[in-house]
Amino acid sequence: MNDDPILEEIYKIRGRLLDECDGDLDQLLDRYKQSENDNHVVTLKDVEDRRQLAQQRHHTNR
């Protein structure tokens, strides 16, 4: 398999989103569609906030 860190991150995120939807692909696709309909713009602050939250969760789960 290709060791592409960007693809690995995308697969990880997709897996996490699918877990949040209890493995229901239809629910995940609905979530994607709703996100597109909301015209949500992701800012650098949004990314940093989510990364910080993920790191906190990671350290809590140890």
Domain ranges of the chain: 5-60
Q: How sure is the predictor about 61, in pLDDT bands with cuts at 50, 70 and 90? A: low
Take residue 62 and report the two structure tokens written for it.
């140890």
> Do 59 and 52 touch, CB atoms closer than 8 A?
no
- C-alpha to C-alpha distance for 28 and 24, rounded to whole angstroms: 6
pLDDT tens for residues 13-38?
999 999 999 999 999 999 888 887 77
Statement: residue 58 has pLDDT above 80: no
Q: What is the pLDDT of residue 38?
A: 75
